[in-house]
Amino acid sequence: MNKRIIVGHGVGKRIATLMGITPEMVSKSLNYKKDSHLARRVRYMAIKDFGGIPVGDKLDPQK
């Protein structure tokens, strides 16, 4: 499974509105398709403020 961050319904749109970016950028950030400073800020906000859960290959301690 690819590395990504899972958030609740509508959270991506809220993050986009709060940060003044497009929902597409939020989606690419949460799916690790982008790795810019902005993408890292989006991932940080998703985890800390909205309870996002990181999942995927590189985060699974059993692999």
- Which domain does 47 fall in, by range? 4-59
The DSSP H or E segment spanning 25 is helix 23-30
Question: Which pTM was predicted?
Answer: 0.86
Count the domains in the chain. 1
| CATH number, domain containing residue 9 | 1.10.260
Q: Assign 59 a pLDDT band (cuts: 50, 70, 90).
A: low
Give, in order, the Cα–Cα distances in Å from 13 to each of 4, 16, 20, 21, 42.
17, 5, 10, 9, 12
Tens of pLDDT, residues 33-46: 999 999 999 999 99
Phi, psi of 31 (to 5 degrees): -100, 10
